[in-house]
Amino acid sequence: MKDAKLKLTNVEVRMGLGIALCLLICSFAPDYLQALAGCTALIMVTQGTGKATFQSGLTRTKGVLIGDVVAAIIVGLDLLIGNTYVFFLLAGIGAALNMLVCQLFKLPQIVARVSTITYILVVVLAQGTERFEYAVLRLVGTLLGAAIALALAYVWDLICKKKHPQEDASVEQKPHD
């Protein structure tokens, strides 16, 4: 196998800048703002163009919202029933339900799996009613990360158009030296 040249594309550069920006914003926000959710969303949704990043961010947000809603239903039932062994069964049913709802909304299978990760994080990482707050904070963190990714893609596209006005912005842009 020939040695491949390693190089950073605009996607990796924007991810690095985006993570730094997300962490900076979260450092000024209340402690409970989800920097991890924001950085994760940013990594997952950053694509080669602003248009692709927007679509990816929209799809990810739908998945997180579905995971949060299904988790809220299961958490509500858990709080109502209050039995650990019934909770285990409800958690499993909720995971399957989450995947089914994602299919209903025609989300790609990988997004459905990520949505189910959101679901299980909400269901098991906190206790009692704190799980509702955690669900909201994950959604806010996801929206923050997606917004940063979109803003950086938009700015990057503008910079690349100014440097090379003849190039189509929908084509993957390489970083310029």
Q: What is the pLDDT of residues 65-97, one digit of tens each?
A: 999 999 999 999 999 999 999 999 999 999 999
Report whether pLDDT(170) > 60. Answer: no
Q: Please indicate, yes or no, if residue 66 is contained in any of the structural domains.
A: yes
pLDDT of 31 reads 64
Report whether pLDDT(177) > 50. Answer: no
Structure tokens at 75: 């958490």
Cα(51)–Cα(9) distance, rounded to whole angstroms? 17
- Answer for the pair 22, 147: CB distance below 8 angstroms, yes or no: no
The count of structural domains within the chain is 1
Q: Please indicate, yes or no, if residue 39 is contained in any of the structural domains.
A: yes
Report whether pLDDT(175) > 60. Answer: no
Helices (H), 82-108: 84-104
User: CA 68: distance to chain centroid?
Assistant: 12
Q: Please indicate, yes or no, if residue 169 is contained in any of the structural domains.
A: no
Q: Please indicate, yes or no, if residue 173 is contained in any of the structural domains.
A: no
Whole-number Cα distances in Å, 65 to 1, 31, 82, 103:
44, 22, 25, 14
Q: Model confidence over 40-71: pLDDT tens digits?
A: 999 999 998 889 999 999 999 999 999 999 99
Structure tokens at 41: 């969303």
Q: Please indicate, yes or no, if residue 165 is contained in any of the structural domains.
A: no
The domain in which residue 132 lies consists of 10-156
Mean pLDDT of the chain: 89
Q: Model confidence over 117-143: pLDDT tens digits?
A: 999 999 999 899 999 999 998 899 999
pLDDT of 166 reads 58
Q: Please indicate, yes or no, if residue 67 is contained in any of the structural domains.
A: yes
pLDDT of 168 reads 46
